[in-house]
Amino acid sequence: MLKRVEVKTNSRVQLIDITAHIKSQLRSENFSSGVVFVYVPHTTCGITINENVDPTVKEDILSVLGSLIPENGHYRHLEGNSDAHMKASLIGSSVTVFVESGALVLGTWQGIYLAEFDGPRKRSVLLKIVPD
Protein backbone atom coordinates (compact mmCIF):
# COMPACT_ATOMS: atom_id res chain seq x y z
CA MET A 1 0.00 0.00 0.00
CA LEU A 2 1.13 3.56 -0.74
CA LYS A 3 0.60 6.37 1.77
CA ARG A 4 1.48 10.04 1.47
CA VAL A 5 2.57 12.33 4.29
CA GLU A 6 2.72 16.07 3.68
CA VAL A 7 5.52 17.90 5.47
CA LYS A 8 5.83 21.68 5.59
CA THR A 9 9.40 22.88 5.93
CA ASN A 10 10.09 26.34 7.30
CA SER A 11 13.62 27.28 6.35
CA ARG A 12 15.92 26.85 3.34
CA VAL A 13 18.01 24.13 4.93
CA GLN A 14 16.59 21.93 7.68
CA LEU A 15 16.44 18.40 9.04
CA ILE A 16 12.91 17.52 10.18
CA ASP A 17 12.27 14.41 12.25
CA ILE A 18 9.37 12.60 10.53
CA THR A 19 9.55 9.38 12.57
CA ALA A 20 6.29 10.13 14.41
CA HIS A 21 4.46 10.74 11.10
CA ILE A 22 5.57 7.34 9.82
CA LYS A 23 4.64 5.57 13.07
CA SER A 24 1.23 7.19 12.89
CA GLN A 25 0.64 5.89 9.34
CA LEU A 26 1.65 2.36 10.38
CA ARG A 27 -0.72 2.55 13.38
CA SER A 28 -3.62 3.78 11.27
CA GLU A 29 -3.21 0.73 9.02
CA ASN A 30 -2.71 -1.68 11.96
CA PHE A 31 0.45 -2.73 10.17
CA SER A 32 2.33 -5.44 12.04
CA SER A 33 5.34 -6.80 10.20
CA GLY A 34 7.27 -6.13 6.99
CA VAL A 35 9.15 -3.18 5.58
CA VAL A 36 8.36 0.44 4.91
CA PHE A 37 10.08 2.31 2.10
CA VAL A 38 10.26 6.03 2.85
CA TYR A 39 10.77 8.07 -0.33
CA VAL A 40 10.62 11.71 -1.41
CA PRO A 41 9.69 12.49 -5.05
CA HIS A 42 11.73 15.69 -5.08
CA THR A 43 15.11 16.79 -6.44
CA THR A 44 16.13 19.24 -3.71
CA CYS A 45 15.35 17.34 -0.52
CA GLY A 46 16.27 13.91 0.76
CA ILE A 47 15.63 11.29 3.42
CA THR A 48 18.13 10.08 5.97
CA ILE A 49 18.37 8.25 9.28
CA ASN A 50 20.51 9.68 12.06
CA GLU A 51 20.77 10.76 15.69
CA ASN A 52 17.48 11.95 17.18
CA VAL A 53 18.55 12.92 20.69
CA ASP A 54 21.36 15.47 20.54
CA PRO A 55 20.24 18.33 18.23
CA THR A 56 23.85 19.41 17.63
CA VAL A 57 24.28 16.37 15.34
CA LYS A 58 21.68 17.82 12.95
CA GLU A 59 23.45 21.18 13.09
CA ASP A 60 26.80 19.53 12.35
CA ILE A 61 25.41 17.56 9.40
CA LEU A 62 23.93 20.70 7.83
CA SER A 63 27.04 22.72 8.59
CA VAL A 64 29.39 20.20 6.97
CA LEU A 65 27.14 19.84 3.91
CA GLY A 66 27.11 23.64 3.64
CA SER A 67 30.91 23.72 3.76
CA LEU A 68 31.29 20.95 1.18
CA ILE A 69 28.65 22.38 -1.18
CA PRO A 70 28.25 26.13 -0.68
CA GLU A 71 24.99 27.81 -1.72
CA ASN A 72 26.81 30.40 -3.85
CA GLY A 73 29.37 28.26 -5.67
CA HIS A 74 30.15 28.41 -9.40
CA TYR A 75 27.35 26.31 -10.84
CA ARG A 76 25.88 26.05 -14.35
CA HIS A 77 22.26 25.31 -13.33
CA LEU A 78 20.46 28.66 -13.63
CA GLU A 79 17.73 28.09 -11.07
CA GLY A 80 19.93 29.22 -8.18
CA ASN A 81 19.55 26.00 -6.22
CA SER A 82 22.38 23.84 -7.54
CA ASP A 83 23.71 23.25 -4.04
CA ALA A 84 20.32 21.84 -3.04
CA HIS A 85 20.35 19.38 -5.97
CA MET A 86 23.82 18.14 -5.03
CA LYS A 87 23.06 17.84 -1.32
CA ALA A 88 19.87 15.90 -2.13
CA SER A 89 21.84 13.46 -4.30
CA LEU A 90 24.46 13.02 -1.60
CA ILE A 91 21.85 12.30 1.09
CA GLY A 92 19.64 10.14 -1.15
CA SER A 93 15.90 10.12 -1.70
CA SER A 94 14.84 7.07 0.31
CA VAL A 95 15.43 4.76 3.24
CA THR A 96 14.02 1.33 4.02
CA VAL A 97 13.07 0.43 7.59
CA PHE A 98 11.96 -2.92 8.99
CA VAL A 99 8.72 -3.13 10.97
CA GLU A 100 8.22 -5.77 13.67
CA SER A 101 5.22 -6.11 16.03
CA GLY A 102 3.87 -2.82 14.71
CA ALA A 103 7.05 -0.88 15.57
CA LEU A 104 9.78 0.59 13.41
CA VAL A 105 13.03 -1.31 13.99
CA LEU A 106 15.28 1.65 14.73
CA GLY A 107 18.30 1.91 16.98
CA THR A 108 17.96 3.71 20.30
CA TRP A 109 19.36 6.94 18.91
CA GLN A 110 17.93 6.80 15.40
CA GLY A 111 15.25 8.97 13.84
CA ILE A 112 14.07 9.32 10.23
CA TYR A 113 14.62 12.77 8.78
CA LEU A 114 13.41 14.74 5.82
CA ALA A 115 16.45 16.78 4.73
CA GLU A 116 15.29 20.07 3.22
CA PHE A 117 17.82 21.92 1.06
CA ASP A 118 15.65 24.41 -0.84
CA GLY A 119 12.83 25.38 1.49
CA PRO A 120 10.57 26.53 2.81
CA ARG A 121 8.22 24.31 0.82
CA LYS A 122 5.50 21.72 1.15
CA ARG A 123 7.04 18.28 0.64
CA SER A 124 5.46 14.90 0.03
CA VAL A 125 6.87 11.84 1.72
CA LEU A 126 5.68 8.58 0.17
CA LEU A 127 5.50 5.39 2.22
CA LYS A 128 5.35 2.03 0.49
CA ILE A 129 4.29 -0.41 3.17
CA VAL A 130 5.01 -4.04 2.32
CA PRO A 131 3.92 -6.91 4.59
CA ASP A 132 6.00 -10.06 5.21
Residues that bind Zn ion (CB under 5 A): 79, 81
Rounded distance between C-alpha atoms, residue 17 and residue 58, angstroms? 10
Q: Which is nearer to Zn ion, 73 or 107 (CB)?
A: 73
Min dist CB 43 to Zn ion, Å, is: 7
Q: Of the candidates 8, 10, 29, which has an alpha carbon nearest to the alpha carbon of residue 127? A: 29
Q: How far apart are CA 87 and CA 47, in angstroms?
A: 11
Cβ-based nearer residue to Zn ion, 23 or 85: 85
Minimum distance of Zn ion from residue 66's CB (angstroms) = 17
C-alpha to C-alpha distances, 73 to 9, 69, 76, 120, nearest whole angstrom: 24, 7, 10, 21
Q: How far is the CB of 67 from Zn ion (least distance, A)?
A: 21
Among residues 52 and 81, whose Cβ is nearest to Zn ion? 81
